[in-house]
Structure 1
């Protein structure tokens, strides 16, 4: 399977990708969480700051950024292609509204439930234990693909619901290094198996540590990943090479 890893700004790099050329997109964009607060990690209070890329630019600027990259994603999706995007309440409502503005067809909103979330240190809120994943088609005319039988098989012979209980990434997924917002391989495998076929082109415009690429190559899909940070580019390459990648271009 072919794998194309690109170092650059996703909006700029996606403008180079032809219209109607990608089957499935998974995006894990900045959540704009780096606000100087603290969270709990392994029983220790740590900063929530992840880097300059995760700092809020303000409500209006954040929304315009979301519309720009979403518009490029919509352009390069095939006519029956689908799009997945994850987020917490800090960003997901902006993304959902922007998708409605752009004419995506929202298919489902998945609640990814984390069985062992970090405790809320302030004790002034409920413990945050979910993220929302929106699944959408390119537009209202799209005839999206859904591997119903595979999802039912994974779910023990029953229809799969929109609440997915999946643990965070295992230690084995971090042997080459880790990313502060790394998603579990099981999550990406489910998404890819649900909405694509062997040989399809999968794009991740915010590639991070390359989990989408690992899942895509493992299940015989083609992969395009875009990432600004050179360190994470190298991390993603190491992880994807572990999948016995035939060709990295």
Structure 2
């Protein structure tokens, strides 16, 4: 696979359909060949690590994830979002699209930043979790959804890919709606390693299959444990993933390699 991120430092892992880079997304996105990517999925920091608690498998645990998720004031968060979204737009092909996942803590900034940086929103997907963590404080409704914004460049000539018939087929012959319901990530998807905000494979499969064609290039600038790459490899797309944590890059490589081995059998 051609190296589209230029510079002396190459991928941490590489094969014929995928590349994983260990490093700062801002610096690596600057080095990427302009308009070379067909689709981007991003699950940026939610800035939720505020010393609170949540429930996991029946146990009280801290919500803190890592330094990359520590909170900052709104102006700083919004500048952060505008900056990486601007760099992603530079990498995206004229007909490409971008998907960004978030919660109420960051999705409103993201939506505004996308419009400010010249994107047109196509859909706002609501991911409804069938097994959300319980509400421990009992002072508000249980948080059971995340939002995924799908957008394209706000240009008249932009013609994005939408595999309507395929998504209708995946939905039992009915038009697929903008509410996707399912469980959180299954334990079987975390066997070789996990990430605190890891997305389930069925979710990423919907995103990859709906908006790309075989052979297209998919980019994830905050790839974590590599679920975007797993879906891309499984369905014949090329993939570039970036993360600044070695542990997650190694997990992503193992998961993608396992899928490729399954396909070769």
TM-score range, shorter chain: over 0.9
Q: 1:45 aligns with which of 44, 52, 60?
A: 60
> What CA distance in whole angstroms lies between the structure 1 residues aligned with 2:90 and 2:261?
28
**Given the two structures, how large is their TM-score scaled by the length of structure 1?**
0.97
Q: Which residue of 2 aligns with 1:213?
A: 229
Correspondence for 1:172 among 178, 188, 197: 188
**Of the candidates 87, 92, 106, which is equivalent to residue 72 of structure 1?**
87
Q: Which runs of 4+ in 1 moved over 4 A?
A: none
- The count of corresponding residues between Structure 1 and Structure 2 is 246
Question: Structure 2 length normalisation: TM-score?
Answer: 0.91
Contact 1:217 1:245 in 2 (8 A): no
Pairing partner for 1:105 from 108, 120, 123: 120
The farther-off stretch of 186-195 and 132-141 is 132-141
Which of 46, 58, 61 is the aligned partner of 2:73? 58
* Separation (CA, whole Å) in 2 of partners of 1:63 and 1:245: 41
Matches within 5 A, 1:138-217: 138-141=153-156, 142-217=158-233
1:192-231: CA deviation from partner (whole Å, max 9, x where unpaired): 0000000000000000000000100000000000000011
Offset at residue 140 of structure 1 (A) = 3.2
1:124 aligns with 2:126: no
Of structures 1 and 2, the one with the larger relative CO (CA 8 A, separation 6+) is: 1
Distance in 2 (alpha carbons) for counterparts of 1:152 and 1:14? 34
Which SS does the other structure have where 2:260 is aligned?
coil
Where structure 2 has 5 or more consecutive residues not aligned to the other structure, the ranges are 1-15
Q: Per the alignment, in what secondary structure is the counterpart of residue 53 of structure 1?
A: helix
For 1:166 and 1:17, locate their aligned partners in 2 and report how far apart those are by CA, in whole Å: 35
Coordinate RMSD, CA, aligned: 1.1
Question: Cα distance, 1:171 vs. partner?
Answer: 1.6
Q: Which residue in the other structure is 1:91 paired with?
A: 106
Shift of 1:57: 2.0
Q: What is the SS of the residue equivalent to 1:33?
A: coil
- For residues 72 and 58 of structure 2, the distance between their equivalents in structure 1, rounded to whole angstroms, comes to 31
1:245: how far off? 6.2
CA 1:82–1:245: 2 relative to 1, 3 Å = farther
